[in-house]
């Protein structure tokens, strides 16, 4: 087993780290305070090809392999989790859906816009009564002579406030119990599509998350992504990619938190020496570092599996479940290492602590990840379990 990054991957990592530390890290606090990832930052990232990370180069993308993409997400996450989520949603949910389920015509139309950042993608799946339970989706897609009409309410739509296109998952046949879902690409100014109130959140404050209303939204058949009924499979597919991206971003955040804790412990003098001399502090840092190490190899192994063409769903659930637990543990311990300073927003660790908390909720709760993992494991015993 060769655990080394290729030369090209090392080069990418250095490039990503340099950009992220130079451009993203310096606005992270500001993004949190103003509750917005600065548009100029997204433009710069687009110029670097980051918004088209997975898009083939003939469509204007950077055509990164899965490991390099994970490296990108790690570096962005290290600098700012809000930015990472914006990019991951755009890339792993929306762009990935077009890549893997789009027709040639759709790819030709959408991919260049998404890759260049001209259009940012938002993902509309969740509803007031359909959180973990996507079978309860109530947004309806009804066929008409010239296309489809969508009606419903979507909540927790990431990137809604800055999106040029919404990937909307709707039910064409509510009685089919999850097998009647379809996905549609709906452009921003389509009549009937309204971006409603924003969800102000505990962390990830730079991400724009809104409720979106669909009131008799006419969508041409050409904007259906995949076939009718493909929705469930598409959602599972892109969520797997998103979960891995989030896990990689969490890895970056966790590493940044440990680094901050180590630095603080080395500099903070109490009881006649640095608090790094205290065994309890050493333990917090050692345990946190161990968690980050484990997460690192879980993320990159899963990315490698994706590169090998393996079915990503299972690995991505492990990665995200663990990332949520590890980053929660690490940021909590590192706040404690900082003492009172860990509670003051002038120091980054409080923000990392708030941001990390999202990982057990975003892209599917930890509870949902456990259910998915258990379902897969029991399949090997020919036992079908349900949530």
Note whether 250 and 296 are within 8 A (CB): no
CB of 345 to other proteins, least distance (A): 5
The correct pick among 350, 352, 356, 369 for binding other proteins (CB under 8 A) is 350
Segment near other proteins (CB under 8 A); pick from 7-15, 238-246, 252-260, 268-276: 268-276
Q: Is 149 helix (H, G, I), strand (E, B) or coil?
A: strand
Burial 210-237 (b: 16+ CB within 10 A, else e): bbbebeebbbeeebbbbebebbbebbeb
250 near other proteins, rule: CB under 8 A? no
Q: Which of 119, 120, 115, 122 is nearest to 47 (CA)?
A: 115
Between 5 and 361, whose beta carbon lies closer to other proteins?
A: 361
CB of 193 to other proteins, least distance (A): 20
C-beta atoms surrounding 16 within 10 Å: 26
Separation of alpha carbons 321 and 206, rounded Å:
23
DSSP conformation class of 347: S
Q: Is 36 helix (H, G, I), strand (E, B) or coil?
A: coil
Q: Is 151 helix (H, G, I), strand (E, B) or coil?
A: strand
365 near other proteins, rule: CB under 8 A? yes
Mask: binding to other proteins, 121-160, rule CB under 8 A, as x and -? -----x--xxxxx-xx------------------xx----
39 near other proteins, rule: CB under 8 A? no
Separation of alpha carbons 282 and 286, rounded Å:
6
The correct pick among 222, 227, 280, 294 for binding other proteins (CB under 8 A) is 280
The correct pick among 105, 340, 380, 383 for binding other proteins (CB under 8 A) is 340
CB of 3 to other proteins, least distance (A): 34
CB of 4 to other proteins, least distance (A): 38
Tell me the torsion sign for CA atoms 27, 12, 312, 178.
positive
373-to-129, 194, 253, 305 alpha-carbon distances in Å: 24, 36, 24, 17
Q: Which H or E element spans position 228?
A: none
The site for other proteins, by CB under 8 A, has a size of: 45
The correct pick among 5, 262, 276, 361 for binding other proteins (CB under 8 A) is 361
Strands (E), 159-192: 165-171, 181-187
Segment near other proteins (CB under 8 A); pick from 10-18, 77-85, 161-169, 356-364: 356-364
The correct pick among 190, 278, 289, 325 for binding other proteins (CB under 8 A) is 278
The correct pick among 21, 34, 58, 270 for binding other proteins (CB under 8 A) is 270
* Binding-site ranges for other proteins (CB under 8 A): 126, 129-133, 135-136, 155-156, 199-203, 269-271, 278, 280-281, 328, 332, 335-336, 339-340, 342-346, 350, 353-354, 357-358, 360-361, 365-367, 370, 386-387
């Amino acid at each position: 087993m060769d655990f080394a990054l290729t030369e090209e991957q090392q080069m990418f990592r250095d490039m990503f780290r340099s950009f992220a530390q130079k451009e993203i890290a310096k606005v992270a606090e500001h993004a949190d305070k103003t509750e917005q990832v600065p548009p100029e930052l997204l433009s710069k990232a687009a110029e670097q090809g980051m918004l088209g990370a997975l898009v083939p180069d003939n469509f204007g993308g950077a055509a990164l392999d899965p490991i390099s993409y994970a490296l990108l997400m790690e570096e962005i996450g290290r600098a700012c989790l809000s930015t990472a989520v914006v990019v991951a949603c755009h890339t792993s949910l929306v762009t990935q859906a077009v890549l893997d389920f789009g027709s040639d015509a759709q790819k030709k139309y959408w991919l260049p816009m998404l890759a260049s950042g001209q259009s940012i993608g938002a993902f509309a799946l969740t509803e007031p009564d359909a959180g973990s339970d996507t079978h309860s989706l109530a947004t309806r897609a009804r066929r008409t002579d010239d296309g489809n009409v969508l009606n419903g309410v979507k909540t927790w739509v990431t990137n809604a406030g800055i999106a040029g296109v919404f990937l909307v998952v709707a039910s064409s046949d509510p009685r089919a119990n999850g097998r009647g879902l379809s996905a549609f690409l709906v452009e921003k100014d389509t009549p009937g599509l309204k971006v409603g109130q924003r969800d102000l959140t505990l962390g990830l404050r730079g991400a724009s998350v809104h409720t979106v209303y669909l009131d008799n939204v006419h969508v041409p058949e050409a904007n259906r992504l995949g076939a009718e009924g493909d929705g469930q499979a598409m959602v599972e597919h892109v969520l797997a990619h998103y979960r891995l991206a989030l896990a990689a971003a969490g890895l970056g955040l966790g590493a940044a938190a440990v680094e901050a804790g180590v630095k603080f412990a080395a500099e903070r003098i109490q009881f006649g020496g640095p608090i790094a001399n205290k065994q309890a502090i050493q333990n917090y840092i050692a345990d946190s570092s161990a968690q980050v190490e484990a997460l690192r190899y879980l993320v990159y192994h899963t990315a490698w599996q994706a590169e090998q063409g393996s079915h990503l769903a299972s690995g991505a659930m492990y990665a995200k479940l663990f990332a949520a637990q590890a980053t929660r543990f690490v940021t909590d311990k590192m706040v404690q290492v900082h003492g009172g300073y860990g509670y003051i927003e002038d120091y980054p660790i409080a923000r990392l602590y708030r941001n990390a908390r999202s990982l057990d909720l975003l892209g599917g709760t930890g509870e949902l990840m456990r259910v998915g993992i258990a379902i897969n494991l029991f399949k090997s015993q020919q036992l079908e379990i349900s949530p």
